């Protein structure tokens, strides 16, 4: 149900952009669309890139596909910058015939839908913004000529239009400030977790009204302020049997004390939670039997790190693996060899103290004198190769690790060592309900 409602809300927003909207509505979503959609430093999704290419081929039926692909790469696969570059470049070649129209994609990226809407409306939006700017310029010149410009009580700018000023709600003399100062002040207060906005005049006890905040703040920010104020007012009313969802702002009255499960009816949440411990619904378990989120996070952290302690990584291709059985000479699919015990790169069995013993036809091991005054068994093929080069002496890698070992025992030791180190990194105030370090093999 939760996923269905989220999907429905997403489809409603998509429908608005697909069917079209007014310039004012579009600018409510994107205050500066040029900055949002023409920033080529942002990396786009594969679906967006596919949508952009197909749409460009539809928009420019006489342009060559190679030119479209090349310009897309230059503009980091952004649709509008690429479209503008192709339309203004007169040196590009053209097809003799019109390209056959491509079929519409079955799936379209959400961002691409909004960008396509802006591409269709960009002329209207530009004209609207220019007209708005021109009207404001004329209003400013008229107000200046008639001495009607005002001064902000915060930044002390003395050339501000009446329409760009707001007032506190004090009785009698109200203090006036520019919208930019009020907006910055409100954003700072929100960042500090406060939702009551006092007047910027030092001795004034008045506040800025919700109407003032609505005019100066972005719609998304103001809606959050409004929701938090409503919650504060409800809490101050001390309504009996009032319960709140721990995952969102939804509240309702639940007079039945036997009902232990809170069912959130917020379409964006729809979660069930326990009224007593505020954790996700855990019926039939009791609250003390449930693992809290902090405990779960700590346990998961421990389990992941303990698992990583057993994992090896190829020194060449970085592929990760765990050995179940076999010897300790690991041969990766990339061709690299390494020791499972010390995790070092090796060249063969010479690294191990109990390497295999190759023999001749009489079942005798091949021996070769070394400069360390001892005899070491070597590979017969390597032996013949060295003789052919008339080399009488050579050195082998230092013997370090056993060729055979108990993998389960090695893994258990590694996990125990990792667990001891990681236990000290956890918050001492968190008591694990299920401690994975208690069940380690001996």
Q: Looking at the structure, do residues 34 and 119 belong to the same domain, yes or no? A: yes
For the ranges 17-21, 53-57, 110-114, 131-135, the lowest mean pLDDT is seen at: 17-21
Interatomic CA distance for residues 188 and 54, integer angstroms: 44
Both tokens of 300, joined, read 């998961």
381 inside domain:
no
Owner of token pair 């050579």 = 394
Q: Looking at the structure, do residues 262 and 182 belong to the same domain, yes or no? A: no
Q: Looking at the structure, do residues 230 and 248 belong to the same domain, yes or no? A: no
Interatomic CA distance for residues 27 and 12, integer angstroms: 18
Interatomic CA distance for residues 401 and 344, integer angstroms: 11
Check residue 218 and give its pLDDT. Answer: 82
Q: pLDDT confidence of 399, banded at 50, 70, 90?
A: low
Q: Which residues contact 226 (CB under 8 A, 6 or more apart)?
A: 210
**Stretch 135-139: mean pLDDT, rounded?**
92
Domain boundary among 274, 290, 306: 290
Higher pLDDT, 15 or 79: 79
Higher pLDDT, 352 or 20: 352
Active-site residues: which are they?
A: 327
302 inside domain:
no
Q: Looking at the structure, do residues 76 and 17 belong to the same domain, yes or no? A: yes
Q: Looking at the structure, do residues 60 and 92 belong to the same domain, yes or no? A: yes
Check residue 72 and give its pLDDT. Answer: 93
Interatomic CA distance for residues 74 and 229, integer angstroms: 48
Q: Looking at the structure, do residues 122 and 25 belong to the same domain, yes or no? A: yes
Task: Give the Cβ contact number of residue 1 at 10 Å.
Answer: 7
Check residue 85 and give its pLDDT. Answer: 93
Average pLDDT of the chain, as a whole number:
80
Check residue 69 and give its pLDDT. Answer: 92
Check residue 126 and give its pLDDT. Answer: 92
How many domains are there within the chain? 3
Q: Looking at the structure, do residues 254 and 275 belong to the same domain, yes or no? A: yes
Most confident of 76-80, 153-157, 167-171: 76-80
Check residue 355 and give its pLDDT. Answer: 60
Q: Are 203 and 179 in contact (CB under 8 A)?
A: no
Q: Structural domain of residue 254, as residue ranges? A: 239-290
Q: Assign 3-class secondary structure to 107-126.
A: CCCHHHHHHHHHHHHHHHHH
**Stretch 40-44: mean pLDDT, rounded?**
91
**Stretch 383-399: mean pLDDT, rounded?**
45
């Amino acid at each position: 149900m939760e996923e269905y409602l989220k999907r429905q809300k997403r489809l409603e927003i998509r429908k608005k952009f697909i069917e079209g909207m007014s310039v004012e509505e579009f600018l409510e979503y994107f205050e500066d669309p040029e900055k949002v959609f023409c920033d080529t430093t942002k990396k786009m999704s594969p679906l967006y890139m596919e949508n952009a290419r197909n749409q460009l081929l539809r928009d420019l039926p006489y342009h060559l596909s190679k030119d479209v692909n090349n310009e897309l790469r230059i503009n980091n696969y952004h649709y509008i910058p690429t479209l503008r570059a192709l339309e203004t470049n007169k040196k590009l070649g053209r097809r003799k015939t019109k390209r056959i129209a491509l079929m519409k994609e079955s799936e379209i990226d959400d961002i691409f839908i909004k960008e396509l809407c802006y591409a269709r409306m960009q002329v209207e939006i530009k004209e609207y913004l220019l007209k708005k700017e021109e009207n404001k310029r004329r209003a400013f010149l008229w107000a200046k000529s008639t001495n009607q410009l005002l001064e902000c009580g915060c930044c002390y700018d003395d050339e501000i239009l009446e329409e760009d000023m707001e007032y506190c709600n004090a009785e009698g003399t109200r203090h006036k400030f520019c919208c930019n100062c009020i907006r910055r002040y409100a954003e700072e207060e929100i960042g500090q977790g406060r939702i009551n906005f006092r007047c910027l005049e030092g001795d004034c006890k008045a506040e800025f009204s919700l109407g003032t905040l609505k005019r100066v703040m972005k719609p998304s920010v103001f809606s959050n302020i409004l929701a938090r104020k409503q919650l504060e007012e409800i809490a101050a009313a001390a309504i009996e049997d009032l319960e709140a969802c721990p995952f969102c702002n939804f509240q309702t009255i639940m007079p039945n004390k036997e009902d232990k499960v809170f069912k959130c009816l917020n379409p964006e949440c729809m979660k069930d939670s326990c009224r007593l411990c505020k954790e996700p619904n855990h019926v039939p378990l009791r609250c003390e039997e449930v693992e809290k989120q902090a405990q779960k996070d700590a346990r998961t952290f421990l389990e992941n790190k303990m698992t990583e302690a057993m994992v090896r990584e190829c020194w060449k291709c970085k592929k990760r693996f765990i050995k179940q059985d076999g010897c300790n000479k690991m041969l990766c699919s990339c061709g690299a060899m390494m020791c499972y015990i010390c995790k070092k790169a090796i060249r063969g069995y010479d690294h191990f103290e109990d390497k295999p013993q190759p023999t001749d036809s009489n079942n005798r091991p091949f021996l070769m004198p070394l400069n360390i005054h001892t005899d070491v068994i070597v590979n017969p093929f390597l032996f013949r190769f060295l003789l052919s080069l008339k080399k009488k002496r050579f050195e082998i890698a230092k013997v370090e690790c056993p060729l055979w070992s108990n993998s389960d025992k090695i893994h258990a030791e590694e996990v125990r060592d990792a667990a001891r180190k990681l236990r000290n990194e956890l918050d001492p105030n968190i008591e694990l309900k299920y401690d994975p370090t208690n069940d380690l093999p001996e």
